């Protein structure tokens, strides 16, 4: 296969930017990468880990030769990062990103790059990640078997959309195209709401007077630890996600709260039948996730008990 792109600029060298650099080096060895991060210490660490073929000292330098530029910064920083490269951006370069909300990012990129061909601005979102962040967090196989959702505008160049999709498939991802607004709704429930709830419950637990933090930690194997994993995710990125996808998140939160209130009432009035019925139907979704290869069926994910 000919590599879809010749030279990829990665702006932002945290978990996702670093993982893209390492994945390209392993899976598309003929493609050159140049990386840039606003933080000098991240650039230094990126050089040591070889997250890109070349780590540039300015964003403009990083994009100068690129035929694909991927912004890997928190949603709230997309506009500023794009503005920084605007004057140096090659006119035929495809512009993309990895942000968790797509409508707001598409708007920010378009506003920051008014001179760029809008048919080449193709937002995307690889649904992959871990609770770790920063230049030490990425690894080459992060995208393997995961979905990458492309949300091209109606005016997008179809050949370029396919070229970007081929790039993600080369890194091991499966690709899907959808409307930005629909993406934001889907991710509000599969990702943003779970994170908000995990952050909330971990906060609730640490504020208790009658139960010590050490007790919470010791007995976390009863379920709590699954929440702490996602509540350890990057705070800056998640602040931006909730602000950028505010409407969809508030809508999902409203539904969640209604459902929780119904279960709370069932507990209060001791309606065991209602609880059982609800608990039983949630198993089917778990089975679907295992069947689609998006999780591991082993007890405890092989957390070391075997």
Task: Name residues contacting a copy of itself, limited to 160-219 (CB under 8 A).
Answer: 176, 182, 185-187, 189-208, 210-211, 213-219
Q: For residue 242, what are its two tokens? A: 């909730």
Of 40-99, binders to a copy of itself (CB under 8 A) are 76
Q: For residue 290, what are its two tokens? A: 């295992």
Q: Which is nearer to a copy of itself, 5 or 227 (CB)?
A: 227
Q: Which is nearer to a copy of itself, 53 or 147 (CB)?
A: 147
The residue from 65, 67, 107, 131 that contacts a copy of itself (CB under 8 A) is 131
Q: Which is nearer to a copy of itself, 113 or 185 (CB)?
A: 185
Q: Which residues contact 43 (CB under 8 A, 6 or more apart)?
A: 13, 35, 36, 37, 55, 57
The answer to whether the beta carbons of residues 66 and 93 sit under 8 Å apart is yes
Report, in Å, the least distance between residue 159 CB and a copy of itself. 25
Report, in Å, the least distance between residue 102 CB and a copy of itself. 13
Of 97-126, binders to a copy of itself (CB under 8 A) are 100
The residue from 129, 156, 160, 180 that contacts a copy of itself (CB under 8 A) is 129
Chain centre to alpha carbon of residue 231: 14
Q: Which residues contact 154 (CB under 8 A, 6 or more apart)?
A: none
SS3 of residue 291 by DSSP: helix
Q: Which is nearer to a copy of itself, 65 or 179 (CB)?
A: 179
Of 221-240, binders to a copy of itself (CB under 8 A) are 221-233, 235-236, 238-240
Report, in Å, the least distance between residue 123 CB and a copy of itself. 16
3-state SS, one letter per residue, for 144-165: CCCEEEECCCCCCCHHHHHHHH
Q: Which is nearer to a copy of itself, 74 or 152 (CB)?
A: 74
Q: Which is nearer to a copy of itself, 92 or 289 (CB)?
A: 289
Which residue in 133, 94, 115, 91 sits closest to 233, CA to CA?
133
Of 238-257, binders to a copy of itself (CB under 8 A) are 238-240, 242-243, 246, 249-250, 252-253, 255-257
Torsion sign over Cα 193, 286, 261, 182:
positive
Report, in Å, the least distance between residue 225 CB and a copy of itself. 5
Torsion sign over Cα 231, 232, 234, 235:
positive
Q: Which is nearer to a copy of itself, 89 or 98 (CB)?
A: 98
The answer to whether the beta carbons of residues 97 and 121 sit under 8 Å apart is no
């Amino acid at each position: 296969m000919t590599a879809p792109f010749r030279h990829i600029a990665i702006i932002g060298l945290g978990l996702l930017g670093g993982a893209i650099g390492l994945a390209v080096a392993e899976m598309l060895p003929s493609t050159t990468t140049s990386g840039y991060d606003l933080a000098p210490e991240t650039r230094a660490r990126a050089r040591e880990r070889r997250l890109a073929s070349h780590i540039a000292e300015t964003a403009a330098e990083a994009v100068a030769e690129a035929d694909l530029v991927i912004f890997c910064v928190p949603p709230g920083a997309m506009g500023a990062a794009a503005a920084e490269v605007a004057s140096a951006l090659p006119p035929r370069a495809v512009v993309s990103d990895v942000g968790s909300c797509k409508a707001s990012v598409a708007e920010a990129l378009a506003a920051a790059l008014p001179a760029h061909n809008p048919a080449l601005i193709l937002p995307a979102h690889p649904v992959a990640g871990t609770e770790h962040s920063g230049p030490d967090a990425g690894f080459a196989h992060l995208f393997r078997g995961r979905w990458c959702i492309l949300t091209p505008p109606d005016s997008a160049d179809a050949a370029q959309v396919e070229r970007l999709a081929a790039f993600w498939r080369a890194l091991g991802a499966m690709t899907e195209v959808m409307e930005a607004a629909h993406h934001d709704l889907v991710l509000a429930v599969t990702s943003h709401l779970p994170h908000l709830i995990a952050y909330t419950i971990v906060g609730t637990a640490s504020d208790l007077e009658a139960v010590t933090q050490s007790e919470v930690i010791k007995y976390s194997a009863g379920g709590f630890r699954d929440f702490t994993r996602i509540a350890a995710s990057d705070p800056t990125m998640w602040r931006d996600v909730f602000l950028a996808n505010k409407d969809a998140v508030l809508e999902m939160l409203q539904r969640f709260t209604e459902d929780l209130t119904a279960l709370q009432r069932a507990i209060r009035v001791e309606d065991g039948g209602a609880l059982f019925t609800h608990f039983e139907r949630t198993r089917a979704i778990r089975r679907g996730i295992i069947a689609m290869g998006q999780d591991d069926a082993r007890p405890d994910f092989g957390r070391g008990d075997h």
